[in-house]
C-alpha cells in the first residue's frame, strides 16, 4: 500500500522490521521527524 502524506500531517501507526533484526514503531521515534523510504525488495530505510 503506497501513499504520501501531506506536509505536516501525522503519520499513521506502523511497525517495520529493520536490518539490525529489531522492529521499530512510530512510538519509538516520539518527537522526531522521520523520512521512511521503501524499496520494492521489502527493505525499508529509516532516516
* Domain boundaries, position 26: 15-46
pLDDT in tens, 8-47: 888 788 888 888 899 989 888 888 877 776 666 555 555 5
Per DSSP, what are the bridge partners of residue 46? 36
- Cα dihedral value 44, 3, 25, 32, nearest 10: 90
Flag whether 39 is in a domain.
yes
Q: Based on the structure, what is the number of domains in the chain? A: 1
Sign of CA dihedral 28, 17, 44, 37: negative
- On whether the pTM is more than 0.85, the answer is no
Flag whether 19 is in a domain.
yes
Flag whether 6 is in a domain.
no
Query: Please, are residues 47 and 34 in contact by the beta-carbon 8 Å criterion?
Result: yes
Flag whether 32 is in a domain.
yes
Amino acid at each position: 500500500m503506497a501513499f504520501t502524506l501531506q506536509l505536516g500531517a501525522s503519520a499513521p501507526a506502523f511497525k517495520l522490521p529493520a536490518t539490525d533484526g529489531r522492529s521499530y514503531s512510530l512510538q519509538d521515534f516520539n518527537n522526531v521527524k522521520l523520512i521512511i523510504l521503501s524499496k520494492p525488495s521489502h527493505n525499508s530505510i529509516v532516516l
